[in-house]
Structure 1
């Protein structure tokens, strides 16, 4: 798929603020499944953006507005090509034993996925050691899709995973955190992915940044699963970056000086140029 993405974030303040520092994570990665053809970021007030790569290899842009302002507008435009995911090589659950030490950071607790018996909380039975790992992860993807209800506004970025387990309603980041908690409690290395999804493929989650999970499969590497849409990652998914949970790859985060609070408005559009 050849996709054009427009992501606009606006913060409006009742009173002027100043020294606004922001980290922007909107540049898609380049890997075997996708290639970035063009990327542009523009800021109002007009300031330059610098960049660096974080610990996970994600590209972060820095936006610093010194002057007083009542509007901060960040617009990112991207042109990206995505390709079909390769078919995972057969791997039994037991094959993970040789890889857990090197992938510890994706097995232990993180700020939004605290230590816990999440497989028990979500009533998931551990797979047999000879079971096919990819098959188990697809079954888990389907189970989470069927159990929970996609409900924008039911949760926010601060909602604990335990609350989502109780209410059964949430958005893509909740589905992703649930699958991460289950995988890690079962000894399956898994990481959080932030990105976009094309709505024309009859998927939900295209109205803003989307989220899914990548699990490690010996012999293949990291493989994507989207429990919000009951699917493996396909060409309609555009990956921005990955981390332990949402906090590592939030689209925009920052701080400013001033006594007023901002009103946030986000608009995301993903167009398939081949249609």
Structure 2
């Protein structure tokens, strides 16, 4: 699929702000599944400097400094990406994970937004046996969370905990993803948080902002995406930016500034997709 992405983040301030420093993670990943044809970052007012580096997890991070006083800061990311469909992961027992857990240990331990807990019991997930099929279990877990929780924008915030989501049973893709990560890691399944974009064509939810889903490690197939918010495998309509342990590792834009007074934030994402030739 060919995906043309426009992502606009706009901060508006009551009073002039200055020396705004922002860390921007909006650069789509380049991989065997995903070709990045172009990427542009547009800053208004003009940035004093823009630098970049790869973070610990391999994502490209841009550092944007706007020195001059401003009442509005606009960060627009434009990207053109070609994605490929993924094959269905092969069947294999959960016991096969013993061979790969060592190479993915950081996605098995607790993280700030995915703390230790009896998450299978909290969310009513039946613990699988070592002989159960791993891809089938993950697909069933994706479906269970899709049917169990209600997608409701505004019901939660970026600071909502898994415990709060478990009580409310409603939230957004970030909450679905953190909950599924908790269950997977508790069961010894390496799993990581993915930030990206979604072309829905009106068929799926979560396309009006950056989207989140889970990647679980399946021996022989590698990291495979599961989207519990939409009850699908992450395929060619999912455009990956990067991954980490949880949301703070891949938050799209964050930073600091002086002045500004009271401010407001507006985010607009548009993904235009068509089948690649």
TM-score, structure 2 length as denominator?
0.97
Tell me, what secondary structure is at the counterpart of 2:139? Answer: helix
Q: Give the C-alpha shift of residue 102 in structure 1.
A: 2.1
Task: Write out the 4+ residue segments of structure 1 that deviate beyond 4 Å after TM superposition.
Answer: none
Task: Return 133-142 or 265-274, whichever deviates more.
Answer: 265-274
User: What is the distance in 2 between the residues matched to 1:274 and 1:31?
Assistant: 19
Match of 2:213 in 1: 212
Matches within 5 A, 1:75-114: 75-114=76-115
Tell me, what secondary structure is at the counterpart of 2:68? Answer: coil
Tell me, what secondary structure is at the counterpart of 1:60? Answer: strand
User: What is the distance in 1 between the residues matched to 2:267 and 2:112?
Assistant: 25
User: What is the distance in 2 between the residues matched to 1:91 and 1:201?
Assistant: 34
Contact 1:193 1:239 in 2 (8 A): yes
Match of 2:234 in 1: 233
Matches within 5 A, 1:58-69: 58-69=59-70
| Structure 2: segments with no counterpart, 5+ residues | none
User: What is the distance in 2 between the residues matched to 1:18 and 1:147?
Assistant: 45
User: What is the distance in 1 between the residues matched to 2:203 and 2:260?
Assistant: 43
Match of 1:272 in 2: 273
Q: Give the C-alpha shift of residue 201 in structure 1.
A: 5.7
Match of 1:256 in 2: 257
Match of 1:53 in 2: 54
Q: What's the RMSD between the two structures over aligned residues?
A: 1.2
Count the aligned residue pairs. Answer: 275
Contact 1:201 1:236 in 2 (8 A): no
Tell me, what secondary structure is at the counterpart of 2:201? Answer: helix
State the Cα deviation string for residues 93-146 of structure 1 (Å, max 9, x = none): 001112222211101111111111111111111111011100000000000000
TM-score, structure 1 length as denominator?
0.97
Task: Return 233-242 or 198-207, whichever deviates more.
Answer: 198-207
User: What is the distance in 1 between the residues matched to 2:138 and 2:262?
Assistant: 42
User: What is the distance in 2 between the residues matched to 1:23 and 1:169?
Assistant: 29
